Structure 1
């Protein structure tokens, strides 16, 4: 396919946009990546081989999809914009190992798709140039989905990337940081300037690789754990105690059980959630369960 001009080639990208009357839609967070070095870098970071099955999110006109298809065994891409799906049918025509599914990734049963499209026990990698406005919900969805993956390589706003490995007590430290810590190790792999896109966004981006880990402390129900974590950060300026009352109620017996749980794990009620580590919040979750506050 040496004679094929890459979709990401700036001239071809513009020609495709002109041909189909396309423009970046803000509601879908669209920006078209036109830097081949970045695209090749993403494929390299993910370590895509001919044995790999790839899930892609938000293929746009297919610039990244094309590069993935050249290395992977099969690519399944989810595109929410029906107009783009029609474009992809033509731009990706040379690649018979790509399937585009018109759907919202937040509504997809990924386990079912992987079993259907790739088969049981497949080596699955997830790659995406994530829409900035919905980066966090998508990451949460991927991490909490009951699927097995080799790595997740995603491009996101640099500010969000910095939150993944934020230090305790900083403004960036929060629910996303803790969720990442439970499920994966995050590594900032590539810094991407705004100039790599058409049109250029107002912010710089970064490519991050997530590698799955076994949590230091495994809980019976991670979804419930992170409900507690989310509730603990509900009002960042408020103390953990006030956020706990909002979560569980203000009845006197409830207050006593919350206090007993805090005492059991040596956490002061006056502390703010941003000062607590994942291990401390996990211990608190278990203590709240023992107090009957979490069923």
Structure 2
């Protein structure tokens, strides 16, 4: 049986055969631990009915495992140099389509319509570059497309922010942007030694599953996201001060915002980081009810 692409020996062999050198500017770190890649695939619970978008396939280590489970895999790779390598390593898998594309520039609804049967489950799996993890995550969770699940490898620090609870130092706007759309869970921590080249920090595999019941209606999500940016603009400031900085500092505005905050059962000195998604939604609705534009 052919050795898995993700084994350290085969990874080095492929890189050497193609004369590939890592580009620091693209945040390239290849996972060379087959067991951890199997954990990602297991978390996605794939079957032949599933269709997968893979972001950043690299040399095809995860792609290989996805192709063995899913009905179809569309792999988006930004580095043109990797396209011929993927054509070589994945030649045994006719259900894989490789595209030279930047996920941040891809029209997701158009991609799904062109490549997939949208009546069947579509899942996303990715080993995200550290430097653009947040923009990619936000694009995926805020896209107007139906994704059955997102399984991503990311910097452990970002994973902590995603699953943080009110009052934790990692809790903030990213936590809430995810929580209003997805249920987040850390599947496992991944040591930096599992990659080549070895990054400076550990990673984590994170599972994101769409909420069964919407917390914020689709029509209000963009507005609520703006509200979250307002209240967390200067996170060490009191919530009231952040609100006044945006809405104005007249006595009438201050009285309204104070009433909104205290209606949550907290003191006026509270910071946004101490409030749950439910409390922030209640404040959001209080402000809208009082005719303030966000």
Question: Where does 1:107-118 land on structure 2 (aligned, <5 Å)?
Answer: 107-118=105-116
Q: Which residue of 1 aligns with 2:278?
A: 279
Q: Is this contact kept in 2: 1:261–1:291, CA < 8 A? A: no
Instruction: Identify the match of residue 68 of structure 2 among 51, 70, 75.
Output: 70
Instruction: Identify the match of residue 13 of structure 2 among 15, 21, 46.
Output: 15
Q: CA deviation digits over 1:28-65, x for unaligned, max 9?
A: 11101111111112111111111110011111111111
Confirm whether residue 50 of structure 1 aligns to residue 48 of structure 2: yes
CA distance in 2, matches of 1:43, 1:243: 42
SS in 1 for 2:180: helix
Q: Which residue of 2 aligns with 1:93?
A: 91
Measured on the aligned residues, the alpha-carbon RMSD in Å equals 2.0
Question: Deviation at 1:255?
Answer: 4.2
Q: CA deviation digits over 1:75-127, x for unaligned, max 9?
A: 01111112222322222222111112222212222122112111221211111
Question: Deviation at 1:213?
Answer: 0.9
Question: Deviation at 1:267?
Answer: 5.2
CA distance in 2, matches of 1:114, 1:200: 34
Instruction: Identify the match of residue 79 of structure 1 among 77, 80, 86.
Output: 77
CA distance in 1, matches of 2:152, 2:206: 5
Question: Where does 1:118-137 land on structure 2 (aligned, <5 Å)?
Answer: 118-137=116-135
Q: Is this contact kept in 2: 1:265–1:287, CA < 8 A? A: no
CA distance in 2, matches of 1:77, 1:258: 48
CA distance in 2, matches of 1:163, 1:128: 18
Q: Is this contact kept in 2: 1:183–1:214, CA < 8 A? A: no
SS in 2 for 1:54: strand
Q: Is this contact kept in 2: 1:262–1:287, CA < 8 A? A: no
Question: Where does 1:1-295 land on structure 2 (aligned, <5 Å)?
Answer: 2=1, 4-215=2-213, 217-219=215-217, 220-250=219-249, 254-259=253-258, 261-262=260-261, 265=264, 268-294=267-293
> Structure 1 residues 75 and 231 mapped into 2: Cα distance closer, same or farther (>3 Å)?
same
User: Would you say how many aligned residue pairs link Structure 1 and Structure 2?
Assistant: 293
Q: Is this contact kept in 1: 2:183–2:208, CA < 8 A? A: yes
SS in 1 for 2:104: helix
Question: Deviation at 1:173?
Answer: 0.8
- Which shows bigger deviation, 85-94 or 96-105? 85-94
SS in 2 for 1:186: strand
CA distance in 2, matches of 1:216, 1:159: 27
SS in 2 for 1:167: coil
CA distance in 2, matches of 1:156, 1:74: 24
CA distance in 2, matches of 1:50, 1:234: 45
SS in 2 for 1:105: coil
Question: Deviation at 1:191?
Answer: 2.1
Which 5+ residue runs of structure 1 have no aligned equivalent? none
> Structure 1 residues 75 and 216 mapped into 2: Cα distance closer, same or farther (>3 Å)?
closer
CA distance in 2, matches of 1:245, 1:221: 22
